[in-house]
Structures are given as C-alpha cells and as structure tokens.
C-alpha cells in the first residue's frame, strides 16, 4: 500500500488512471459503491474536445472501504484497459508543471498578435 498514512474512518480521495474514454462519472460511482459509500465521483474531460482524458477521482467516506476498493480494482481490465487505482496525492505533493515560454520570432523578439500590413 502507499506510504501515505490514512486516518481510520476518514474521507479518502482515490485517483483512477488509464480509463476507457467511454467510462462516465456514474460508472465510477457505481463501481466503487460496491465497496462502500462514495461521496464524489468524477471523470476528467478536456475542455476543448469534451473527450475524457482517461482518468478520474472518487472520494469515499471510509478508509477501510477505500483500501479494499483500491486493492480489488487496481490492475483490473475494464473495456480492454487495465486501470491504475491508487490514493490521490494532495496537490501540494505533486510535481510542478513545466511552463512554456511564448514562441518568439526569428530575431528572438516576441511576436505581435496584430496582423502585419504592407507599407506603401
């Protein structure tokens, strides 16, 4: 089990990766509900394409139920994909995302967003 210490009977946030794109939040909730009470289930979608990003989160009210669900479902094949189920790491413990600089022109100056016009 993860080295994260769980408090007995405390809320547990679970991360589920490698989900089939057809899986919905309701599917996650019904799957995890067989192990205990689920207070929140969410599949993450891309804002532009509205397509699943292939991962989601489930929050369970009881740590024992959450551990049982993680142990039972981790590595299980659903719709042809083996899902990865683990305790979600708190935002403060995640690696920082890389920030990319704005593209620059051939002279290494920032490009202007206004269109160029021909001078006569």
User: Running DSSP on this structure, what letter comes out for residue 104?
Assistant: B
On whether residue 71 sits in a domain, the answer given is yes
On whether residue 5 sits in a domain, the answer given is no
Strand 52-60 and strand 77-78: the pairing is: unpaired
Least confident of 11-15, 61-65, 90-94, 110-114: 110-114
CATH of residue 26's domain is 3.30.70.330
On whether residue 114 sits in a domain, the answer given is no
pLDDT at 13 exceeding the cut of 60: yes
Could you list the residue range(s) of the whole structural domain that residue 64 is in? 12-91
Can you give the pTM of this predicted structure? 0.70
On whether residue 115 sits in a domain, the answer given is no
On whether residue 44 sits in a domain, the answer given is yes
pLDDT digits (tens, 9 = 90+) for 66-106: 999 999 999 999 889 999 999 998 766 656 666 666 555 55
69: region left, alpha or beta (phi > 0 left; psi from -120 to 50 alpha): alpha
- Look at the chain and report how many structural domains it folds into: 1
Q: How confident is the model at residue 25 (pLDDT cuts 50, 70, 90)?
A: very high
**Confidence (pLDDT) at 89:** 83
On whether residue 32 sits in a domain, the answer given is yes
On whether residue 97 sits in a domain, the answer given is no
On whether residue 18 sits in a domain, the answer given is yes
Backbone angles phi, psi at 14, to 5 degrees: -115, 135
């Amino acid at each position: 089990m993860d080295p994260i210490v769980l408090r007995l009977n405390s809320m547990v946030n679970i991360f589920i990766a490698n989900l089939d794109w057809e899986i919905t939040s309701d599917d996650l909730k019904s799957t995890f509900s067989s192990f205990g009470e689920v207070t929140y289930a969410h599949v993450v979608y891309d804002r532009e394409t509205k397509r699943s990003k292939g991962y989601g989160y489930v929050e369970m009210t009881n740590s024992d139920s959450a551990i049982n669900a993680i142990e039972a479902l981790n590595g299980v094949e659903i719709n042809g994909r083996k899902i990865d189920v683990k305790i979600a790491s708190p935002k403060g413990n995640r690696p920082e995302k890389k920030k990319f600089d704005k593209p620059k022109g051939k002279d290494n100056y920032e490009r202007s967003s206004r269109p160029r016009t021909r001078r006569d």
